Amino acid sequence: MRRRIIAGNWKMNKTPSEAVALVNELKNLVNNPEVDVVYCVPAIDIVPVCEAVKGTNVKVGAENMYIEDKGAYTGEISPDMLVDAGVSYVIIGHSERREYFGEDDEFLNLKVKKAIEKGLTPILCCGESLEQRELGITMDWIRMQIKSGLAGVDKKDVANMVIAYEPIWAIGTGKTATSDQAQEVCKGIRDCISEMYDKETSESVRIQYGGSMNAGNAKELLSKPDIDGGLIGGASLKAEFGDIVNA
């Protein structure tokens, strides 16, 4: 049985002091020992949030990282810095990074490998645009993202990682994929991993849905057999996040 994982992606929200206030506000609401709870927070919030979650069930994630250990890469953050600060997860290849910062599958594959090398758990994101969905190429596109993103990654590492399926048209739009649409793609991802590796690996990897997930639709989405959790944007910034964790 795969353990559920509910992660908040705070995106570019919350100053350090606001971040600590949010952690404290959510503390008792997300205290569910049956679920892995993760806050993926802006880089500048990582240190205070790691401090604020001490002694709770919450783990901290980064929203991004660079592929080198150190050096002249102005503005970047290394995986060693994240690990030293107490980070356990890192989001890789969110559609906003792909779209606004030109991150491609090849580069993201390097990030996945680097994160694993350093002991961070990657949350590798994939997802189709509305145009791709309407063209009927959703699963072709997702399979390409998964195959490129995981190229050369060992099966034991794939088994321990997290994949987030986030249809781009559902992100921040209030339009959630139906639970059947989300299940279909999450199962497709698992089948793809089974073909690339084996059934055991595909049964172990955890697959999240993300895109306008909220307290109202979480239970239905999470009832599907291949949806093991959620990656939540807007609703992770308020008390509602606790309802999703407990859904």
Distance, CA of 132 to CA of 20 (rounded, Å): 39
Q: Considering the rule CB under 6 A, would residue 172 count as an interface residue with ligand 13P?
A: yes
Q: Considering the rule CB under 6 A, would residue 234 count as an interface residue with ligand 13P?
A: yes
Distance, CA of 194 to CA of 182 (rounded, Å): 18
Active site residues: 94, 166
The CB-side HSE value for 72 (13 A sphere, CA atoms) comes to 0
Shortest Å, Cβ 211 to ligand 13P: 5
Shortest Å, Cβ 174 to ligand 13P: 8
Shortest Å, Cβ 177 to ligand 13P: 11
b/e code 198-235 from CB counts within 10 Å (16+ = b): eeebbebbbbbbbbbbbbebbeebbebebbbbbbbbbb
From residue 55 to residue 94, what is the string marking binding to ligand 13P with x (rule CB under 6 A)? ---------------------------------------x
Residues 3 and 219 sit within 8 Å (Cβ to Cβ): no
Element (H, E) at 1: none
Q: Between 138-149 and 179-196, two packed helices, what is the crossing angle to 10 degrees?
A: 40
Cβ closest to ligand 13P, residue 11 vs residue 113: 11
Say how many C-beta atoms besides its own lie within 10 A of residue 81's C-beta.
Answer: 18
Residues 241 and 247 sit within 8 Å (Cβ to Cβ): no
Cβ closest to ligand 13P, residue 8 vs residue 79: 8
212, 241, 244, 245: which one binds ligand 13P (CB under 6 A): 212
Residues in binding contact with ligand 13P, number by CB under 6 A: 14
From residue 128 to residue 167, what is the string marking binding to ligand 13P with x (rule CB under 6 A)? --------------------------------------x-
Type of residue at 47: V
What radius of gyration, in Å, describes the C-alpha atoms of the chain? Answer: 17
Cβ closest to ligand 13P, residue 77 vs residue 232: 232
4, 5, 6, 9: which one binds ligand 13P (CB under 6 A): 9
Cβ closest to ligand 13P, residue 13 vs residue 194: 13
61, 149, 188, 211: which one binds ligand 13P (CB under 6 A): 211
61, 79, 122, 233: which one binds ligand 13P (CB under 6 A): 233
Cβ closest to ligand 13P, residue 122 vs residue 234: 234
Q: Is the dihedral of CA 10, 107, 110, 79 positive or negative?
A: negative
Q: List contacts with ligand 13P (CB under 6 A).
A: 9, 94, 166, 171-172, 210-213, 231-235
